[in-house]
A = this chain, B = another copy of it.
Amino acid sequence: MSDEGFVWRRRVSFGDCDPARIAYTGRIPEFALEAIDAFWEDLLDGVNWFKMYTDQELAIPFVRMEMTFKKPVTPRAPLFCRVEPIALGNSSMTFEVTGSQDDIACFIAHFVCVFVTATNFGKISVPPPIRAKLESRFPALCNQVSKAGSCEE
Whether A68 sits at the interface, judged by CB under 8 Å, is yes
In the complex, the chain B residue whose C-beta lies closest to that of A67 is: B65
Residue of B nearest to A64 (CB): B68
Q: Count chain A residues whose beta carbon lies closer than 8 angstroms to a beta carbon of B.
A: 42
Report how far A146 CA is from B63 CA in the complex, Å: 37
Residues of B within 8 A of A72 (CB): 61, 121
Assess whether A59 is interfacial by the CB under 8 Å rule: yes
Chain A residues in the interface with B (C-beta under 8 A): 11, 13-15, 17-22, 24-27, 29-30, 33-34, 37-38, 48-51, 53-54, 59, 61-69, 72, 74-76, 118, 121
Given A20-B59, A49-B75, 7 other A-B contacts at CB below 8 A?
Answer: A11-B38, A13-B33, A14-B18, A15-B37, A18-B19, A26-B30, A50-B76
